[in-house]
A and B are shown apart, each in its own frame.
Chain A
């Protein structure tokens, strides 16, 4: 690790976006907990219809993907672009796995007649997880870009700003799910 103090990881602009996103999702979390407190029984009954195993498996997938991205960034710093591309590809695979699990989960819910209009809990469930899934899809696009960049023979030290920006965005995707999982699936 060759990082020094006072180094912003990536573009300053990406951090404005990341902090803005954290603020917006932070408010989402508070709104959810507030309205949950007004009708705890409804939220508990609705939560029982969710499959905790899907949520936990997806948490592990995103954590693993974050770990692959950390190692990819270290390899990119060490000018090992090809190895970095392989690790970014593994992270991308984890992202695809997350999307597949989410697709199965949504399909099961919809088949059981549970939709965004079923009740307040499921409205928040679909909105929060849907917005998060949108972040996953965008993040997968970013990872694909980083794979192409890292594989390029012209990959150089100045590209690290792009690599760090993309990596920071992917970690944001992981970070948001770390709260969404206990908030929606586990909270008692």
Chain B
């Protein structure tokens, strides 16, 4: 809930990062994927699952988050 409020604040033209789009978007994505890992491990109970399932989920989180930030960085105009 707190993480969602933080995302909301970051996305709603927060004065903290000013016009630094890259910092804001990176922050938003890192918050989102941290929440997702929490949902997967604790809500979906994957922390108790066999290592293969835990590994597949963690790889998905890292690869998709990393690829989103990489593609965003490549396509984003400076600032």
Across the interface, which residues of A come within 8 angstroms of B35, CB to CB?
178
Complex CA distance for A40 and B77, rounded to whole angstroms: 8
* Complex interface residues of chain A between 153 and 185 (CB less than 8 A to chain B): 164, 167-168, 171-172, 174-175, 178-179, 181-183, 185
Q: Is the interface of B mostly helix, strand, loop or mixed?
A: helix
Given contacts A22-B60, A37-B75, A188-B21, contact A7 B43 (CB under 8 A): no
Across the interface, which residues of B come within 8 angstroms of A188, CB to CB?
11, 21, 24-25
Given contacts A33-B72, A37-B71, A60-B1, contact A182 B11 (CB under 8 A): yes
Per-residue interface assignment for chain B, residues 20 to 44, with 1 indicating a CB less than 8 Å from any chain A CB and 0 otherwise:
0100110011011101100110111
Which residue of the partner chain, among A15, A33, A63, contacts B4 with CB atoms under 8 Å? A63
Q: How many A residues touch the partner, as a band?
A: 35 or more
A-B residue pair count with CB separations less than 8 angstroms? 116
A6 contacts B by Cβ under 8 Å: yes
Q: Is the interface of A mostly helix, strand, loop or mixed?
A: helix
Across the interface, which residues of A come within 8 angstroms of B60, CB to CB?
19, 22-23, 26
Per-residue interface assignment for chain A, residues 14 to 34, with 1 indicating a CB less than 8 Å from any chain B CB and 0 otherwise:
010001001100100110011
Per-residue interface assignment for chain B, residues 39 to 79, with 1 indicating a CB less than 8 Å from any chain A CB and 0 otherwise:
11011111011100100110010011001100110111100
Given contacts A19-B56, A186-B7, contact A30 B44 (CB under 8 A): no
B8–A36 touching, CB < 8 Å = no
Complex CA distance for A40 and B44, rounded to whole angstroms: 35
A175–B4 touching, CB < 8 Å = no
User: What distance in Å separates the Cβ of A25 from its nearest Cβ neighbour in chain B?
Assistant: 9
* Chain B interface residue count, Cβ-Cβ cutoff 8 angstroms: 42
Given contacts A5-B48, A40-B77, A56-B8, contact A182 B32 (CB under 8 A): yes
Given contacts A23-B60, A26-B60, A56-B8, contact A7 B40 (CB under 8 A): no
User: What distance in Å separates the Cβ of A46 from its nearest Cβ neighbour in chain B?
Assistant: 15
Give me the interface of A with B, judged by CB distance under 8 Å: 3-9, 15, 19, 22-23, 26, 29-30, 33-34, 36-38, 40, 52, 56, 59-60, 63, 66-67, 69-70, 164, 167-168, 171-172, 174-175, 178-179, 181-183, 185-188
Pairs of residues from A and B, 8 with the lowest C-beta to C-beta distance, nearest first? A37-B75, A186-B11, A188-B21, A182-B28, A3-B48, A9-B45, A33-B71, A26-B64
| Contact sample, A vs B, 8 pairs, CB 8 Å cutoff | A8-B53, A9-B49, A19-B60, A22-B60, A37-B74, A56-B8, A70-B42, A186-B28
